[in-house]
Amino acid sequence: MVSFAERNVRNRTANPGDIILESLTLEEKAKQLAVDAPDLTGDHLKVPTYFIVEYPNGEKKALHHVRDAKQISDVIRQARFYEESDDLGGEREHFFNWTGIILAVLLMAITLPILIGIF
């Protein structure tokens, strides 16, 4: 049996939702909240304890918001990369700056007669 002191040290955390419970199912982990409270601005914050990620091979995994923060960042970064490449159809549009070209041609048209007149 685990003593109260051992349990207290093991579960010491700022938020009760930060406690990692490996015995929960994936569905139970998806419903667990780390923070469910109003903040100073009056908005009500709800932060999930686990982020459920589905990989391309169909595997679903529950990533803990503290312990697996690096993996969560990698998943978000990868999703943004795929989203951007899908939006552009694999190609990037090139912006043609007509204003800059027109101003450069006008500047040359004004300065060229001055330079010819000097030399």
Q: How do the domains of the chain map onto residue ranges? A: 4-94
Question: Residue 8: is its pLDDT beyond 60?
Answer: no
pLDDT band for position 82 (50/70/90)? confident
**pLDDT value for 97:** 80
What are the Cα distances from residue 62, in Å, to 20, 21, 31, 72? 11, 11, 11, 10
pLDDT value at residue 89: 55
pLDDT class for 36, splitting at 50, 70, 90?
Answer: confident
